[in-house]
Structure 1
């Protein structure tokens, strides 16, 4: 087993991180069970384990090495000023990593202490998740300085090894509820934007609709956008889907960031369509019509409101998969004799 070939300090660090993860799971389990929009947290540990398993060959190669990397490391090259800049940059990154690990332990300890004093609460859960992310990312860079045989890792290799832990580190900050003030700010912003788009859409089509804040007054009754969902729930789930897909399918950081950003855009746009549909449904059948259950092949799929929420999530994931496929296409063209580009 190649894990046993790792330096003993690295092995102990891995076991310590595993202990922190188990504590993190125990802490966040409460929120996954309490809030439906964070139910995806139950599969987060499985997805993290899959990502680490899938990346283990690259991690092992960077931390343990092979014949080629050992031979290259035994013949380092010097580039004069470029080498000096690289050395300064490495020292700066090491300093940042040390601060991240130290700050991460302070945050994790503070979260644990506050949880012990006050019980389950959002402050301690967010401090724990934030602390673990800093410990893992900072520690990944620090412990990748040398391979198992003592040969130093180039700065570029250390950077790429640390980035391999980006998803396993940051996903825990997404699977715990955000602070209530932040949640309320984002939710209110989304509700107002959705209400404005829906109002103007119906107004342009000639339907009688009056908007008062996030409430739409329809002929058969009032509908609040909060009843049609502001979109923050689907936004959270889609961010998780985008993060996982970007982590698994893409190596370049800009592609990962772009996919996560696109997931947010897709979630918002699809939720607009959902809100338009729900408003049209309430316009025709009244607000109580939103409680109508969807029955497919004898199976109760929930009321119209909840069912369309799952549809939005499914459509967003399909859009993300299509984008992943598009980004994975490599254009190849074989020139025939006499042809030029």
Structure 2
């Protein structure tokens, strides 16, 4: 890379940081205080690794400035202004990614932007979902998890009565709150499977299967966690549903989700090998 290109990149980075400093500061603050999006700290680094991972391919792309980048930047600024006027943080933060895409297109060309579209899109994982959308997803997940868990607990002979997202046992009541809806593990697992799918050496449809598998896996493991918590509360005592055991169960279930994703990856790779062996014979 020529020195003039390095200077250009540094100037653009400085200008971008200056324009979005307030937005970036508030976003990082949300990562600190909102446990649902604490994984946001890792997303830029993972996206950077995605770019580094494809560096050999990127070096082969000719750098040709494209005027279309100006229009993308203007659109990004319009999204930012709209978000600022409407006090909508999600739009203001999303505009950063749009503007960054425009800068890449203007500085290095649309071919480079196309090659970097996945790492750029991945950055959306670091932006907290608007509360109105979050609640639309979290509450149905709470009800679903509570219903399946209560049915499973009943199957093992433990008396349970479900009232909305509250499970009434003989010795205690368990509320499936927002943190127990599974959406927190879902967002984190989507971020991890997205990176894993991008870096894995499998076909495109298998990458999508890996990425989307985070949804059923996160929901299923969360139901298992709630079911086990309810059983322990009934058999051991109410204290088993709170404190250290509750926190540890969350980590164990999330780790189980990661293992299931990896097992799915192994299965997908074997499907490809089996198909090739069959065609060879």
TM-score normalized by structure 2?
0.81
> Closer, same or farther in 2 for the Cα pair 1:22/1:266, shift >3 Å?
farther
Counting matched residue pairs gives 277
Counterpart for residue 245 of structure 1 = 196
Q: Residue 62 of structure 1: SS of its match in structure 2? A: coil
Q: Residue 162 of structure 2: SS of its match in structure 1? A: strand
Q: 1:240, CA displacement in angstroms?
A: 0.9
The 5 A counterparts of 1:82-231 are 100-111=72-83, 123-124=88-89, 126-141=90-105, 145=109, 158=111, 161-226=112-177, 229-231=180-182
> Closer, same or farther in 2 for the Cα pair 1:334/1:34, shift >3 Å?
closer
Q: Residue 157 of structure 2: SS of its match in structure 1? A: coil
> Closer, same or farther in 2 for the Cα pair 1:182/1:9, shift >3 Å?
same
Counterpart for residue 319 of structure 1 = 260
1:282–1:290 Cα contact (<8 Å) kept = yes
Counterpart for residue 31 of structure 1 = 30
Q: Pick which of 198-207 and 105-114 moved more.
A: 105-114
Which of 267, 271, 292 is 2:218 aligned to? 267
> Closer, same or farther in 2 for the Cα pair 1:315/1:234, shift >3 Å?
same
**Partners of 1:144 and 1:192 in 2: CA distance:** 48
Counterpart for residue 82 of structure 1 = none
Q: 1:53, CA displacement in angstroms?
A: 1.7
Counterpart for residue 54 of structure 2 = 55
1:20–1:132 Cα contact (<8 Å) kept = no
Deviations 1:179-232 (A, max 9, x none): 111111111010110111112112233321111111111000111112871101
2:31–2:39 Cα contact (<8 Å) kept = yes
1:228–1:275 Cα contact (<8 Å) kept = no
Deviations 1:36-66 (A, max 9, x none): 232222222322222222222211211359x
**Partners of 2:6 and 2:202 in 1: CA distance:** 27
**Partners of 2:120 and 2:15 in 1: CA distance:** 14
| Higher normalized helix content (fraction of residues) | 2
- Please provide the CA RMSD for this pair: 3.5
**Where does structure 1 lack aligned partners over 5 or more consecutive residues?**
66-93, 116-122, 147-157, 293-302
1:308 aligned onto 2:238: no
**Where does structure 2 lack aligned partners over 5 or more consecutive residues?**
none
Counterpart for residue 233 of structure 1 = 184
2:166–2:174 Cα contact (<8 Å) kept = yes
Deviations 1:220-249 (A, max 9, x none): 011111287110111111111111112222
Counterpart for residue 208 of structure 2 = 257
2:197–2:210 Cα contact (<8 Å) kept = yes
> Closer, same or farther in 2 for the Cα pair 1:105/1:4, shift >3 Å?
same
Q: Pick which of 168-177 and 260-269 moved more.
A: 168-177
